Amino acid sequence: MSTHMNLPRRQRGAVLIIALIMIVLISLVVVGAFNLSTGNLKAVGNVQYRSESVTAANSAIESVISGTFLGALNTTALVNVDLDKDGTNEYQVSVAIPRCPVRVARVSLDAPSGYETTGGVASAAGTYVTDWELVATVSDVATGANAVVREGVRLPMGEWDYQSNVAGPTCGLTLITS
């Protein structure tokens, strides 16, 4: 006689129940790992979108500064940014250009001002140094990414630009002389 026949009836299904419990546990581990990897992928994607938004904001600020900055005081410039250079603008950036600088300093032309072109000769930019704060706001509807970038800009100005755009009671700045 075999020993198989001697087993009690209630023990014959125990292996099946243990196997089902193991399958359920393994399934739970697999589902948990899938959810964890999906969450990590979303986090990495969000960091990438945020980084692209900040890059777009910085690009827009550089575009505004290199353009007609003084002609656009007290306005908001809308700048379209094509980061991957495929001909499609991925971001639209709103750059707030203030009416007045944060600080103005008059620089003596006989002393080095930090704005010389070559050989210690003062540049044609003039005798005033102005500090501005630009605020760029980026929102991407497709991804939900957004960023606000504040950037300080120091620009030298000639006498005419200073008198035409900054001087006067509107800004109420105290001129710092060096």
Q: pLDDT at position 116, please?
A: 45
What is the pLDDT, as a whole number, of residue 27? 93
Task: State the pTM of this model.
Answer: 0.66
What phi and psi values does residue 68 have, to the nearest 5 degrees? Answer: -90, 70
Residue type, 90: E
Torsions phi, psi for 167 (to 5 deg):
-65, 155
Calpha distance 108→177 (Å, rounded): 8
Do strands 176-177 and 103-106 pair parallel, antiparallel, or not at all (unpaired)?
A: parallel
- Per residue in 122-134, pLDDT (tens digit) is 444 458 888 889 9
Enumerate residue ranges in the chain where pLDDT < 50: 111-112, 115-125
Position 22 scores a pLDDT of: 93
Report phi then psi at 102, rounded to 5: -75, -35
